Amino acid sequence: MLINAKENTEKVIYISRHGQSEMNVKDIIGGNGYLSPSGVEYGEKLGDFIANHIDQEKTRFVTSSMNRTRQTAKLAGLDPDQINDLDEIDAGDFDGLSYGEVKCRYPSEYEARKADKLNYRYPNGESYVDLLKRTRRAIQNVDFESCDNFLIIHQAVARCLIGILLGLSDEKVPQMEVPLHTVIKIQGSEITYHKLL
């Protein structure tokens, strides 16, 4: 044993996307539907992971207000708080369309987003710049100092949160890989990925 090894006493932030949704299966942007069978399996596995690895007394569990995060938490046996500002990026007029439909019906919008994903704002919706602002506001309601936190959220909002917590440049945020069915653990500047399914 290393005598000088110091235990990392910083509070832990766990981040998970919801289980795979019906919209993920159809490659649909946004929507407020429920989980696919594989997403349901993840919710159950997440419950096992939490039971075995997390001190629930010392951890605050939080979801967005959307059906897919709340269903994931319920399957995991949790009774979380809800923060509406952690809802997924608002795709405005394109909510409910597939990426393929947007490319086909609105090619110039599709190309504009591809060219500048950070600044592109969905018609009547949000950009990543907007979402970064909303995520910063959301985490003012999260106590990172005196307890661990477990957030069940969405792809784009998870990118923003990780970017903010790790101090990444805004440009890196929209491109970040945040895999489904994986618990991401952040402690200080250390990030680790635990794939459950």
Active site residues per annotation? 17-18, 24, 68, 88, 154
Q: Determine, following the binding rule CB under 6 A, whether residue 38 of this chain makes contact with ligand F6P.
A: no
Place of tokens 């696919």: 36
Place of tokens 């086909």: 104
**Shortest reach from residue 29's CB to ligand F6P, in Å:** 4
Please give the DSSP secondary-structure letter assigned to residue 46. H
Q: Determine, following the binding rule CB under 6 A, whether residue 75 of this chain makes contact with ligand F6P.
A: no
| Interface with ligand F6P in residues 164-193 (CB under 6 A) | 174
- Give the residues across from 186 on adjacent strands: 13, 191
Q: Determine, following the binding rule CB under 6 A, whether residue 163 of this chain makes contact with ligand F6P.
A: no
Asked if 58 and 77 touch (Cβ cutoff 8 Å), the reply is: no
Q: Determine, following the binding rule CB under 6 A, whether residue 24 of this chain makes contact with ligand F6P.
A: yes
One residue of 155, 164, 166, 170 binding ligand F6P per CB under 6 A: 155
| Interface with ligand F6P in residues 78-137 (CB under 6 A) | 88-89, 91
Q: Which is nearer to ligand F6P, 148 or 181 (CB)?
A: 181
d(CA 176, CA 15): 14
Q: Determine, following the binding rule CB under 6 A, whether residue 154 of this chain makes contact with ligand F6P.
A: yes
What b/e readout covers 66-87, taking b as 16+ CB neighbours within 10 angstroms? bbbbbbbbebbebebeebebbb
The two three-digit tokens of residue 21, written as one number: 């949704």
Q: Which is nearer to ligand F6P, 154 or 181 (CB)?
A: 154
Q: Which is nearer to ligand F6P, 12 or 62 (CB)?
A: 62
d(CA 101, CA 98): 5
**Contacts to ligand F6P by CB under 6 A:** 24, 29-30, 88-89, 91, 154-156, 174
